[in-house]
Amino acid sequence: MKSVVIIYGTEEYLMETARHQFLAQYSEDGMAQSFSKDGAAAKVAEAFEATSLFGGGGAVIWYDCPFLPVRRGGRSRSKLTKEEEWFLGKLAAVPEGNGICFYTKGKIDTGCIFYKKVMAFADVVHGEAVTEKTIMPYVNRFLKQKGYVLTSRGTAYLRALFQTWSEIPLLYVFSELDKMCITLPEGTTQVDVKDLKHLFAGTMEKNLFTFMDFFLHRDGIHTLPFTSSLFSKTDSFLMNTGYMASRLRLLLSYKELQQAHMGRSQMESIMTKINKGRSVKYVLFHLQKVASCWTIEELVELISRIFILQRNIRRGTAAVADMVPLICLYCSNKGRV
């Protein structure tokens, strides 16, 4: 790492990993002089210019530095203040062995003039939020370090599960995977679906994924226990019904393309567009298992009913609790065999 480091973003695991790397390089005891947003630039510069009496350098961390503001809309500042000009001069001449880290939770305004200037001699770590599109390389790398590899079925299962998440906290994912690794039988090298089923138990994302699996199988006995927690609260209702409707639309598209005798590659291409550009390669793995449970007419009818219910809720003529009876209409009272 360079002597000047900028760490920002919303993914705390990535940000903390970078912070520890900075401390390992510039701090002998893992400690640093810390300054808050209100810290004076002159004091910060004095700290990173200091030389240890016992040799070696020192680490300085400035949290939420006002020279690197969080992006909040509007035009980025295009002129440096005199204080910023003076501080940039100090940053360009950080003594060898010393380091300063700017640490900000949030999206820094990368268009501001100070950021553009400091980029000339700084390393930047963007702890970008992890989504279903970017999670799997982290999962595979973590398991590889532990001596395991996912089967194709395991990969498909996790990819489908992660599509219920808006943002995925890596620390939580790694802690769950770590617990799983501890319980795997000795000699295991491959991780399959049966090993992953218990992960993330109790989270709304996992409940939503499990609910949809049972519902698409039309398994009323196992579907109904999830309905109250997923559809009775206004704050989560829109997100959960949105996910449900998106899966129903994909299943409808799959059945219609199947009926048209569409080839596999053409089918994936069309459905990826329907899925807003997100790959459906692993979603198809699940849709194929439930396609025979539904007719095209039933899917069209259910999607329409969900839309009407959402409209009526906005008009005040229906309530979120009305979703449960609607779900029941399309379930069987028999469990999955």
Residue 96 sits in the same domain as residue 168: no
Q: Give 139-154 pLDDT, tens digit per residue.
A: 999 999 999 999 999 9
Question: Could you tell me if 337 and 209 lie in one domain?
Answer: yes
Q: Are residues 188 and 240 in the same domain?
A: no
Are 95 and 149 part of one and the same domain?
Answer: no
Q: Which of 201, 223, 247 is the last residue of a domain?
A: 201
Give yes or no for residue 79 having a pLDDT over 50.
Answer: yes
Instruction: Identify whether residues 123 and 13 lie together within a single domain.
Output: yes
Instruction: Calculate mean pLDDT across residues 262-279.
Output: 86
CB count within 10 Å of CB 125 equals 20
Q: Which two tokens stand for residue 277?
A: 């550009």
Residues 207 and 335 in one domain: yes
Q: State the CATH number of the domain containing residue 331.
A: 1.20.272.10
| pLDDT digit string, tens, across residues 217-257 | 999 999 999 998 898 888 788 889 989 999 999 999 999 99
In 3D space, the residue among 85, 102, 333 whose CA is nearest the CA of residue 220 turns out to be 333
Task: Decide if 282 contacts 155 (C-beta within 8 A).
Answer: yes
Residues 336 and 210 in one domain: yes
Q: Are residues 268 and 324 in the same domain?
A: yes
Tokens matching residue 242? 């949105």
Domain that holds residue 165: 130-201
Token pair for 246: 């998106």
Q: How confident is the model at residue 335 (pLDDT cuts 50, 70, 90)?
A: low
List the CATH number of the domain containing 81: 3.40.50.300
Q: Are residues 271 and 308 in the same domain?
A: yes
For residues 105 and 31, membership in a common domain is answered with yes
Q: Does residue 165 sit in the same domain as residue 212?
A: no
Question: Which of the listed residues 141, 167, 201 is the one where a domain comes to its end?
Answer: 201
Q: What is the pLDDT of residue 55?
A: 42
Could you give the number of structural domains in the chain? Answer: 3
Tell whether 153 and 187 lie within a shared domain: yes
Mean pLDDT of 211-219: 94
Q: Which pLDDT score, from 0 to 100, does residue 51 have?
A: 64
